[in-house]
């Protein structure tokens, strides 16, 4: 009986696996078509310099406007794209689109583009970046590339060479989601970062002593290494104030603005300035 039960459990498991695999395959086919049909879009979320009371740039966040399912989250489709290799074409598209759109913005605004570690596994990433810069005419100093800690576990000689190439070109490099991966403080001076983004899981719990101690340590270290710290996922005035009191003045989060479509960015900037004038300090975003 136990054997029979085991067998049926296994069958059930097999069916589940099949269903999941098929769903992935289906999404892969859809995603390939999505890129060709122009269903991918970049939304933008500002990062704010609270000390200077200005928006200093926008991070490009990919959106998939699916014809029947509505918006599909990047958390769902990026892993599929990474697995089937589509991430290379999608990544090149994101670089080209983000640089092209940013070239239309006021010149004091930067644009930040997320890179998957998978994009570093194939030669051609540096060419993609170069092509995006040349085609758009965007000053390289206005482009920031975001990588995560998992990248640093890959073949480090080639990763370092690629990152150094970006830096030599004048492009900035941010470490995204800092503190969630295999954080090694040694990474911070072995790789040419100019920004660290403290993961939102720390910001969300900044009231807790442990999170605050970690944030404080990261800020102290970054200052010594001349790296700018950005607090991610700021949702409340309390979180903003706590970061400021720790000496972190660059921030991003729903408190300031959610990611918005490219054609709404002028409005985002206007609203930001208006909230300043009214409040003499920043009120939460109500959009
Ligand atoms: P990320 O780069 O760390 O981006 C931050 C994520 O947190 C975004 O989710 C953003 O919408 C969300 N967020 C920002 N502020 C807040 C806040 O105050 N509260 C909360 N709860 N969330 C906030 P999104 O847009 O769903 O993107 C998820 C992840 O997908 C990104 O994390 C990034 O790793 C990846 N991703 C997005 N676009 C791209 C892309 O073009 N290429 C690659 N390779 N990855 C991308
Ligand atoms: Mg990011
Ligand atoms: Mg992040
Ligand atoms: Mg993230």
Residues with CB under 5 A from ligand 4 (ion): 177
ipTM of this complex: 0.98
Strands 195-198, 40-49: pairing kind = unpaired
Residue 209 has pLDDT above 90, yes or no: no
User: CA-CA distance, 203 to 214, in Å (whole number)?
Assistant: 10
Q: Is the CB of 2 under 6 A from ligand 1?
A: no
Looking at the CA of 197, name the nearest ligand.
Answer: 3
Cα(26) to ligand 2 centroid in Å equals 27
Residue nearest to atom 23 of ligand 1 (CA): 233
What is the pLDDT averaged over residues 23-33? 92
Q: Is the CB of 253 under 6 A from ligand 1?
A: yes
Q: Is the CB of 61 under 6 A from ligand 1?
A: yes
235 CA closest ligand 1 atom index: 18
**pLDDT at site 184:** 73
**pLDDT at site 23:** 86
* Bridge partners, residue 44, by sequence: 60, 260
Q: Is the CB of 177 under 6 A from ligand 1?
A: yes
Residue 114 has pLDDT above 80, yes or no: yes
**pLDDT higher at 184 or 237:** 237
Residues 6+ apart with CB under 8 A from 99: 111, 113, 132, 133, 135, 136, 138, 143
Residue-averaged pLDDT of the chain:
91
**pLDDT at site 41:** 97
234 CA closest ligand 1 atom index: 18
259 CA closest ligand 1 atom index: 11
Q: Is the CB of 112 under 6 A from ligand 1?
A: no
Residue 249 has pLDDT above 60, yes or no: yes
Residue nearest to atom 7 of ligand 1 (CA): 233
Q: Which long-range contacts (CB under 8 A, 24 or more apart) does 43-46 make?
A: 43/259, 43/260, 43/261, 43/262, 44/101, 44/111, 44/259, 44/260, 44/261, 44/262, 44/265, 45/252, 45/257, 45/258, 45/259, 45/260, 46/252, 46/256, 46/257, 46/268, 46/272
- pLDDT band (50, 70, 90) for residue 155: confident
Q: Is the CB of 74 under 6 A from ligand 1?
A: yes
Closest CA to 152 of 122, 126, 120, 130: 120
């Amino acid at each position: 009986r136990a054997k029979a039960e085991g067998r049926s459990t296994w069958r059930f498991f097999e069916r589940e696996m099949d269903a999941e695999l098929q769903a992935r395959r289906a999404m892969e086919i859809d995603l390939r078509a999505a890129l060709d049909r122009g269903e991918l879009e970049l939304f933008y979320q500002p990062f704010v310099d609270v000390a200077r009371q200005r928006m200093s740039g926008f991070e490009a966040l990919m959106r998939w406007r699916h014809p029947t399912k509505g918006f599909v989250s990047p958390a769902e489709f990026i892993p599929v794209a990474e697995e089937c290799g589509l991430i290379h074409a999608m990544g090149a598209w994101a670089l080209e689109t983000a640089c092209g759109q940013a070239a239309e913005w006021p010149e004091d605004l930067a644009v930040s583009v997320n890179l998957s570690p998978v994009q570093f596994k194939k030669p051609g990433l540096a060419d993609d970046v170069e092509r995006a810069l040349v085609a758009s005419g965007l000053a390289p100093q206005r482009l920031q590339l975001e990588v995560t800690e998992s990248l640093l576990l890959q073949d480090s000689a080639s990763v370092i060479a690629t990152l150094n190439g970006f830096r030599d070109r004048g492009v900035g490099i941010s470490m995204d989601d800092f503190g969630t991966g295999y954080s090694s403080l040694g990474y911070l001076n072995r790789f040419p970062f100019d920004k660290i983004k403290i993961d939102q899981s720390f910001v969300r719990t900044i009231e807790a002593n442990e999170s605050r101690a970690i944030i404080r340590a990261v800020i102290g270290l970054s200052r010594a290494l001349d790296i700018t710290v950005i607090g991610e996922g700021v949702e409340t005035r309390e979180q903003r104030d706590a970061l400021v009191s720790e000496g972190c003045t660059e921030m991003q989060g729903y408190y300031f603005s959610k990611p918005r479509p490219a054609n709404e960015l002028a409005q985002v900037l206007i609203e930001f300035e208006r909230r300043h004038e009214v409040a003499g300090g920043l009120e939460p975003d109500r959009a």
